[in-house]
Structure 1
Amino acid sequence: MEVGLLVSIFMIQIVYVSFFTLRMILTLKGQKYYAAALSCVEITIYVLGLNMVLKYLDQPISLIVYALGYGLGVLVGSWIEEKIALGYVTLRVIVNNPESSVPNHLRDLGYGVTTWIGSGRDGERLMLEVLARRKNQKKLYQSIMDVEPRAFIVTSEPTRLHGGFWAKATRR
């Protein structure tokens, strides 16, 4: 089996699985039209790659290359998704000091912050809820750690947003 064909199978799998990963993420993020358009390209690539492998089923190297391309495609698709980081995250932050400067620090950086006083085992705590774009998550986390290194932080991904500080920005 020629090397050029093996390289083609390998590359087709990487592209196909990367597209597959991105399509799934777009679907989960509610971007159904982009997902549908991407799926047209994805299935075309898939059929081409599968056709190549099926022609050479008697040569195990083609199946091995196909499988390796699939595995690398998962990694590439995940890497691309991390770079585009679609959507939003909510950080729930708990700090021991109810007078902490974290809320104002984050507001100065442009984040919307809601605060309230909570009750913990050892007394009052300052509770914060912060919404941010996923691509800003690491920067936000580090901004909190710079001011309150012992903060307790829980991250989640909201599925719907309505009203408040982010209402106009999320409609775009």
Structure 2
Amino acid sequence: MSELFNLLNTLSESRSIWIYLFIFFGKLLEVSTSTLRMVLINRGIRAVGSMIAVVEIAMWVVLAGTVLSSIHSDPIRIPVYAVAYGLGNYIGSWLDEKLAFGLSSIQVVVPDEMTAKLLGEALRAKEFGVTTMNVQGMSDKSHFMLLLMIKRKHLREALELITSITEKAVITVSDVKVQKGGYVRGIKAKSQKK
């Protein structure tokens, strides 16, 4: 372990390109994992999020120490650190989209019963669980709402299917923190498990 600290100390005193690459890619990795950690914790995956936090804070201490130890003699480290921080946030949010942890709730309001039936049938054919109900808008005119609870990784597929059938739909998507009961494609209900 002392060899690692000696290496880090030697590296932090250096003014070679390697120190800037170490700061840049280290901060990029640290902030990306930080973004994922927050997403995991917000979606209820606390144990994994907490384990990531341990690694993340260790990286932060090393990187911040590397920048702060030479703040006056090598000020170029500051913009390298700052740019990596910004880019790390971007990459972390991109990774969140790609990994798509958790569930989403989709509410689709359509103007008529025929469209609601057509949408419901198409969504069910793709194994999405759909609940349909009659609702009323501001003009007291009857509309129909379809409710879906889906894995986030299926969100794009569901939205593309909905918009391919009707462009008149009003669609809202919400993240789901807790889901109990009902049908979600790809998740076997506890009552169905043997």
Q: TM-score, normalised by structure 1?
A: 0.93
Q: Which moved more, 1:9-18 or 1:159-168?
A: 159-168
Match of 2:127 among 106, 110, 125: 110
| Contact kept? 2:151, 2:184, Cα under 8 Å | no
Matched, 1:153 2:167: no
Map 1:9-20; keep pairs closer than 5 Å: 9-20=23-34
Deviation string, structure 1 residues 21-44 (Cα, Å, up to 9, x no partner): 111111111111101111111111
Question: What residue in structure 2 maps to residue 50 of structure 1?
Answer: 64
Any unmatched runs of 5+ in structure 1?
Answer: none
User: What is the alpha-carbon root mean square deviation over aligned residues?
Assistant: 1.8
CA distance 1:170–1:134, change in 2 (3 Å): farther
Residues 68-83 of structure 1: pairs in structure 2 closer than 5 A: 68-83=83-98
Question: Within 2, Cα distance between the matches of 1:111 and 1:13?
Answer: 40
The Cα of 1:109 is off from its aligned counterpart by 0.6
- The separation in 1 between residues aligned to 2:38 and 2:189, in whole angstroms, is 21
| Structure 1 partner of 2:4 | none
Identity within the alignment, %: 30
Distance across 1 between alignment mates of 2:97 and 2:41: 16
CA offset at residue 169 of structure 1?
Answer: 3.2
2-side partners of 1:169 and 1:3: how far apart? Answer: 52
SS in structure 2 at match of 1:169 = coil
Give me the whole-angstrom Cα distance separating, in 1, the residues matched to 2:17 and 2:114: 66
What pairs with 1:1-172 in structure 2 (closer than 5 Å)? Answer: 1-58=15-72, 59-100=74-115, 101-120=118-137, 121=139, 123-166=141-184, 169=188
> Partners in 1 of 2:50 and 2:142 — Cα distance?
50
More displaced, 144-153 or 113-122?
A: 113-122
User: What one-letter code is carried by the residue in structure 2 that aligns with 1:169?
Assistant: K
**What is the CA–CA distance in structure 2 between the aligned matches of 1:151 and 1:166, rounded to whole Å?**
22
Aligned partners of 1:52, 1:170: CA distance in 2, in Å?
Answer: 50
Query: Which structure has the larger Rg?
Result: 2
Q: Tell me by how many angstroms 1:170 deviates.
A: 6.8
SS for the counterpart of 1:99 is helix
Between the two proteins, the alignment pairs up a number of residues equal to 172
